[in-house]
Chains A and B, each alone.
Chain A
Amino acid sequence: MTAKEKQRLAERAINIALDSGAQESAVIISDSKSSAVEVREGKIDKLEQSDQMGLSIRLLVDNKFSAHSTNRLDDASEVKRFIQEAVSATRFLSEDPLRALPDPGLYYQGGGPDLKLWDETIESVDPRTRIDAAFAAEKEIAGSDERIISVSAGYSDGYSNRFMVTSNGFRGEKANTFFGMGASVSVRSGEARPEGYWSENSLFYNRLQRKGIGEKALDRAIRKIGQRKIASGRMSMIVENRIAGRLLGAVITAMNGSSIQQKNSFLIDALETQIASEALTVTDDPFVISGQGSAYFDSEGLAMRRRTMIEKGVLKDYYINTYYGRKLEMNPNSGDTSNLIFGHGENDFSGLAGQVQKGVLVTGFNGGNSNGSTGDFSFGIEGFYIERGEILHPVSEMNISGNMKEIWKRLAETGNDPYLNSSWQIPSMLFNDVDFSGI
């Protein structure tokens, strides 16, 4: 479907909604496509292709709210019936006067320069290129070490596109391409079969790091040989950049308007208070060129801004959408994160490790959870034991436990290694005095 056709479909859907009795409506036409190859033992293990299109619609009918979606778009009369019945069903609900589309003055008005999220190459990548890329990652290591049990490698690419129209004047389109590769290796170590994994991704084909993926996966598997748990105790902890989102995620969720309004946040009334050490500064920057979370508007159409969320440990802002903004009597500023950019420390990864007298470098989480209301958390971990700045041996089958309100105050330093494969560009982080459970 061309952009024009999508716009026509969206506008038609809104008109049907309004004609059926809705006062306000927002429609998103989304389409996406992806192709993926996975190879194993010199053969193609899986070839997959995905191609989807859908319509989703939000309705406000006499102050009552509902949202619906369908992928049955071939037959115009069926789409019409779907929306008419959705409007009728909405009438059974209770009124919720705080539901409304955003104030049109807060919508993105257009005119921003290209954020460079689309790579034309996507049109020309052929199946052979995908297969060759995956085989190349596998070949880096296949047969290179007798401890290897299994090597899988994969390549995928595709695009995602959303066209959004609202009944109070918003029109916007967002699209991005993506390219990714990864490899997974299992090695034998007595009874255990540790696994190593590495992946790279990018919005641009030419910027996708294609070399070294197999090697890094193998290296990570081999380094795990001999994993064991160590005695319980309070120690330092370094969290590797690529997994640190698991810890930060609990904080971001607690900053969300719906969590706060539902009293399911440990950051209620915490604006302008110290929630972390001075080492933590987080900026939400939607305008990073080719950033994985870059966008001019959010899922409601609200114009996004560059915002300081946490400055030297002080909470400066929440994520507030239109509905929870009204409930909380706060100004909506977007309920979505874009790119999270961190203040960088001086040290690289080994610089952080060098400062640790006794501690664990955490390279993987295994389960665990965090209590939204209280901030209590407990996570399974694996990684490496560090003593006097030196990595001694791999560890596993251990837990860390604590409270989000406390652990972030023990953040000693952030590394200079932001993780660029994600919209959350988190650096490695060093925490002091963390509760580890082991033997």
Chain B
Amino acid sequence: MNLNRRTFIKTGSSAVAGVMLLPSLAGSCSSAVISENVKEYLDHFGVTPEILRKIVSVAMSRGGDYADLFFEHKISNALALQDGTVNRAFSNIDYGVGIRVLKGDQTGFAYSESVNEKSMSDAALMAANIASSGNSFSASPLTEKAPASFYELKKRWEDVSVGEKVPFLQMLNDRVFSLDSKVVKVSASINDETSRIMFYNSEGMLSWDYRPLVSMSVVCIMQKGSQIENSYSSRSFRTGFEWISESLVDELSAEVVNNTNLLFDAVKPRAGEMPVVMGAGGSGILLHEAIGHTFEADFNRKGTSIFSDKMGKKVAADFVNIIDDGTLLNNRGSLNIDDEGNEVQKTYLVKDGVLNSYIHDRISAAYYGVNPTGNGRRQDFRNMPLPRMRATYMEAGPFTREEIFNNIDYGVYVDQFSNGEVKIGAGDFTFFAKSGYLIEKGKLTQPIKDINIIGNGPQALADITMAADDYLIDNSTWSCGKDGQTVPVTCGLPSILVKKLTVGGTN
């Protein structure tokens, strides 16, 4: 449910590199035990261990069980090309601290866009009101928890000027136009983001992270006679400027031109239930929608998910292993530490066909009496953490692609997607296939386009009857929305056969 969230005036997406601003520094900390790393972050946010303890004490002053402070400084840049030239740039700076207080599974939350003591105390007091008893809090000694290191970064986005990015967008534009004379419009963009995170909680734990994120994307529009078709391609990673390269431009331009071209001869399939083969890669959206969201433990804790009483039960064939992983190198969904200071894991949601773990944040892990899985994520300091996915994928299976197709008389093959959705309680999920092919008598025949496919989560999971050996992560710019919060994710899949899903089409 999302009664309370309103994002007002979402100020632009982003920032021109080179406009990085360091907040004014407060006095450096006096404590001798803190490391250089921590000192850098404390200075960056202009606070000292004493101030942190003070704010947490205020947060705990009404008898909360636990409190945390999430400091964030995010610089976002977008640079875009339209109608042949790189003619627009956007930037955004966002800065503040989110303060959360837990009492059992109840949450009080407020934030401050200023890190002066008065503003932070006001926010802490607001959040403290979730509890209503006396104060018995005594501050724990500060312990540092060093983050993992799942992103490689040579050249930081803060050190890259607009001028250095421009030629790559221009090259992408020219490449797409050169590949096909039907191309009439190209738009392209590079979006980069740099976040500094500092986390401190009532247990005295202090951690930090430096998170880069970049995506490069292209929209291609082609015209043949009066028929106009469009497609979109993108890639995204947590890495630095060194990733932007001519070979990336080649990859994106070839893909978008091929995908757009397909659409001119595409038809709509028959309406109704049929076998669906999901190609390796982006088809992982199936897992994200059909299974991932319904495994998020907040829904299960409240009993509202269709998977609420299925832990430890057989939910799929033996070869089905489904993972939610925050540790893939440079992956868009990876985190060095989650947004509530927990270690990020590779989590088996389904192991050998048996439901093995939900997706937990701190509240749900405590409720279920398990260790957090490192899935506590938040859009930014303005929002409280929730159990969220990272990279959700399935391991390779025992079949080949040929064996999968051989089994099908009439069905569809899909491998390009734009979006999906799920109803947590009913379990009905959907994904929108931008393009694919008809399968007739074991062969791919005509291209298809723009069809929605719908199924029911537990049924679809049980209906995965074959999986091939070609597992692939899709590194497109996937984002996941829940309760008004958007976080970066990815997904992956080997080619699989789902025995039966309902395909949008014509009667």
Interface residues of A (CB under 8 A from B): 28, 30, 32, 34, 36-38, 40, 43-54, 56, 64-72, 74-75, 78, 81-82, 85-86, 88-90, 92-96, 99, 127, 149-150, 152-156, 158, 160, 162, 178, 180-182, 184, 186, 191-195, 197, 199, 224, 227, 229, 232-234, 262-264, 327, 364, 366-374, 376-380, 382, 396-401, 435-439
Contact A373 B306 (CB under 8 A): no
Given known contacts A92-B163, A232-B271, A366-B428, is B221 in contact with A380 (CB within 8 Å)?
no
B250-289 CB mask vs A (1 if < 8 Å, else 0) is: 0000000000000000001001110000000000000001
Pick out which of these stretches binds chain A: B19-27, B365-373, B465-473, B485-493.
B19-27
Task: Other than A191-B458, A193-B303, give 7 A-B pairs with Cβ distance below 8 A.
Answer: A44-B130, A48-B109, A52-B8, A65-B87, A67-B88, A89-B17, A374-B227
A304 to B46, CA, bound (A): 45
A92 to B418, CA, bound (A): 33
A377 to B433, CA, bound (A): 11
The residue that B304 contacts in the complex, of A65, A70, A150, A160, with Cβ under 8 A, is A150
CB-CB under 8 A from B92, the residues of chain A are: 68-70
Contact A367 B421 (CB under 8 A): yes
**Complex A-B, nearest 7 residue pairs according to Cβ-Cβ distance, in ascending order:** A36-B4, A367-B430, A154-B3, A69-B11, A399-B504, A367-B421, A437-B271
Contact B1 A197 (CB under 8 A): yes
Contact A373 B86 (CB under 8 A): no
A53 to B114, CA, bound (A): 10
CB-CB under 8 A from B162, the residues of chain A are: 89, 92-93
Is B204's CB within 8 Å of the partner chain A?
no
B161's nearest neighbour on chain A, judged by CB, is A92
CB-CB under 8 A from A263, the residues of chain B are: 184-185, 221, 223, 228
Is B302's CB within 8 Å of the partner chain A?
yes
Contact A96 B12 (CB under 8 A): no
Contact A367 B3 (CB under 8 A): no
The residue that B423 contacts in the complex, of A71, A366, A435, with Cβ under 8 A, is A366
Contact A186 B506 (CB under 8 A): no
Contact B82 A82 (CB under 8 A): no
A85 to B184, CA, bound (A): 35
CB-CB under 8 A from A368, the residues of chain B are: 421, 430, 432, 452, 504
A396 to B427, CA, bound (A): 10
CB-CB under 8 A from B458, the residues of chain A are: 191
A46 to B506, CA, bound (A): 46
> In angstroms, how far is the closest chain A Cβ from the Cβ of B313?
12
CB-CB under 8 A from A399, the residues of chain B are: 271, 430, 451-454, 502-505
CB-CB under 8 A from A45, the residues of chain B are: 105-107
Contact A378 B452 (CB under 8 A): yes
CB-CB under 8 A from A66, the residues of chain B are: 16, 88-91
Number of cross-chain contacts by CB at 8 Å: 341
A70's nearest neighbour on chain B, judged by CB, is B93
| Number of B residues with CB within 8 Å of any CB on chain A | 104
A199 to B427, CA, bound (A): 22
CB-CB under 8 A from B450, the residues of chain A are: 369-371, 374, 376-378
Is B351's CB within 8 Å of the partner chain A?
no
A32 to B111, CA, bound (A): 13
Given known contacts A34-B6, A89-B17, A379-B452, is B428 in contact with A396 (CB within 8 Å)?
yes
A396 to B454, CA, bound (A): 10
Contact B421 A366 (CB under 8 A): yes
CB-CB under 8 A from A94, the residues of chain B are: 85-87, 166
Contact B1 A154 (CB under 8 A): yes
Contact B16 A54 (CB under 8 A): no
B97-127 CB mask vs A (1 if < 8 Å, else 0) is: 0000000011111111110100000010011
Interface-central residue, B116, B185, B452, B458, by most chain A CB under 10 Å? B452
Contact A82 B19 (CB under 8 A): yes
Given known contacts A66-B90, A71-B93, is B130 in contact with A366 (CB within 8 Å)?
no
A43 to B130, CA, bound (A): 10
CB-defined A-B contacts under 8 Å, sample of 25:
A30-B11, A48-B110, A65-B87, A66-B88, A70-B94, A75-B24, A85-B16, A86-B19, A95-B85, A156-B6, A224-B426, A227-B426, A262-B185, A264-B185, A264-B219, A264-B230, A367-B431, A367-B454, A371-B450, A373-B228, A373-B230, A374-B227, A380-B428, A382-B426, A439-B272
Contact A156 B90 (CB under 8 A): no
> In angstroms, how far is the closest chain A Cβ from the Cβ of B195?
14
A77's nearest neighbour on chain B, judged by CB, is B24
Contact B3 A32 (CB under 8 A): no
A327's nearest neighbour on chain B, judged by CB, is B83
Contact A156 B19 (CB under 8 A): no
A373 to B260, CA, bound (A): 12
> In angstroms, how far is the closest chain B Cβ from the Cβ of A261?
8
Contact B432 A369 (CB under 8 A): yes
A396 to B423, CA, bound (A): 11
Contact B8 A193 (CB under 8 A): no
Is B353's CB within 8 Å of the partner chain A?
no
A81 to B20, CA, bound (A): 10
Interface-central residue, A89, A184, A191, A192, by most chain B CB under 10 Å? A89
Contact B91 A69 (CB under 8 A): yes
The residue that B455 contacts in the complex, of A193, A372, A397, with Cβ under 8 A, is A397
Given known contacts A46-B106, A66-B88, A96-B88, is B273 in contact with A439 (CB within 8 Å)?
yes
A32 to B110, CA, bound (A): 14
Contact A86 B91 (CB under 8 A): yes
The residue that B82 contacts in the complex, of A262, A367, A379, with Cβ under 8 A, is A262
B75's nearest neighbour on chain A, judged by CB, is A70
A46 to B485, CA, bound (A): 15
> In angstroms, how far is the closest chain B Cβ from the Cβ of A30?
5
Contact A49 B110 (CB under 8 A): yes
Given known contacts A82-B19, A89-B16, is B9 in contact with A54 (CB within 8 Å)?
yes
CB-CB under 8 A from A374, the residues of chain B are: 227-229, 450
> In angstroms, how far is the closest chain B Cβ from the Cβ of A219?
16
A336 to B270, CA, bound (A): 38
Contact A380 B4 (CB under 8 A): no
The residue that B9 contacts in the complex, of A30, A85, A436, with Cβ under 8 A, is A30
Contact B426 A396 (CB under 8 A): yes
CB-CB under 8 A from A34, the residues of chain B are: 4, 6
> In angstroms, how far is the closest chain B Cβ from the Cβ of A404?
11
Is B18's CB within 8 Å of the partner chain A?
yes
CB-CB under 8 A from A54, the residues of chain B are: 9, 11
Is B456's CB within 8 Å of the partner chain A?
yes
Contact A154 B4 (CB under 8 A): yes
Contact A397 B420 (CB under 8 A): no
A38 to B82, CA, bound (A): 44
